[in-house]
Amino acid sequence: MDQNNYTSLHGFVLLGFSDYPKLEMVLSGVVTVFYFITWVGNTAIIVASLLDSCLHTPMYFFLRNLSFLDLCFTTSIIPQMLVNLWGPDKTISYIGCVIQLYIYMWLGSTECLLLAVMSYDRFTAICKPLRYLIIMNPHFCLKIIITVWSISLANSVALCTLTLNLPRCGNNLLDHFLCELPAIVKIACIDTTTVEMSVFALGIVFVLTPLSLILLSYGYVAKAVLRIKSKAGRKKSLNTCGSHLTVVSIFYGTIIYMYLQPGNSASQDQGKFLTLFYTIITPSLNPLIYTLRNKDMKNALRKLVRVDMNLQN
């Protein structure tokens, strides 16, 4: 029998937090709450920004994409995770694991690039205000979004296919709560240096390069904001940029610590909690971060609530 056939037939066992049965019960409740918050918050942003004509701008077009991405990201992980947390069955089918791996990698890569695009949007709005709508026209915005999703898909296909083709010699125990690329690489029964180097190289392209562009953009933005004489204008610019920088800091900080550190300096349990943070908690925080400091979005949400109340009456 081929050494990968066993896994193909029987799937994988996601060990997750099975060493801590009491913690599993607590986590199932916490994850359910955050999943609900993620769905309500991100759906509200998408609907409000679509219905309010004042929010038909490039900034909110990209924000809608981020909200949609977060909804897909969490939905690709949480339902299976809750099934495993609630019962003794910790398995996931081979096909289910493959689909989760590809989607997880695709959406994670997309978010890295999308956050860089959003920073360029803010740079253009603040540093080149008179040419903003000309540069960030609808055709350009659509083209750049399609490019971001397409490049990320190509990255996912390349890395995940390379990883899944590694012989596992019947090993099917994944010490994680999801089918994550590093966890699958670890159960391979051959030298995985080539794959690990490929992951690291593409990590630089998809993590450090966008982050560098974000920091460069905000360097120029900071200079431009300091030159704004209007106190109200300066405050509005700082609020919109501050929200984005908060999201960038949380997302990239966790990703860099997880994937771009030498060796296995983080324990396996620590790695699981960090993954839990950026895959489940961060998507629920994004709507709060973007709405709490954004007057336009607050007004749009109030309108949405009023419309809903009128419909009920």
- Superfamily name and number for 12-299: Rhodopsin 7-helix transmembrane proteins (1.20.1070.10)
| Structure-token pair, residue 19 | 């060493």
In the chain (313 residues long), the average pLDDT of successive 10-residue segments reads 51 85 88 93 90 88 94 93 85 92 94 93 90 94 96 93 87 88 87 82 84 90 81 72 81 76 56 82 84 75 71 60
pLDDT value of residue 295: 76
pLDDT value of residue 90: 87
The backbone torsions φ and ψ at residue 262, rounded to the nearest 5 degrees and listed phi first, read -70, 135
| Structure-token pair, residue 115 | 């956050």
Domain extent listing, the chain:
12-299
H/E run at residue 91: strand 91-92
**CA nearest neighbour of 149 among 137, 161, 157:** 157
**CA nearest neighbour of 278 among 307, 251, 308:** 251
**CA nearest neighbour of 158 among 211, 226, 102:** 102
Edge-to-edge strand order for the sheet containing 173-174? 91-92, 12-14, 173-174
Q: Is residue 142 classed exposed, middle or buried when 0-12, 13-18 and 19+ CB atoms within 10 A define those classes? A: exposed
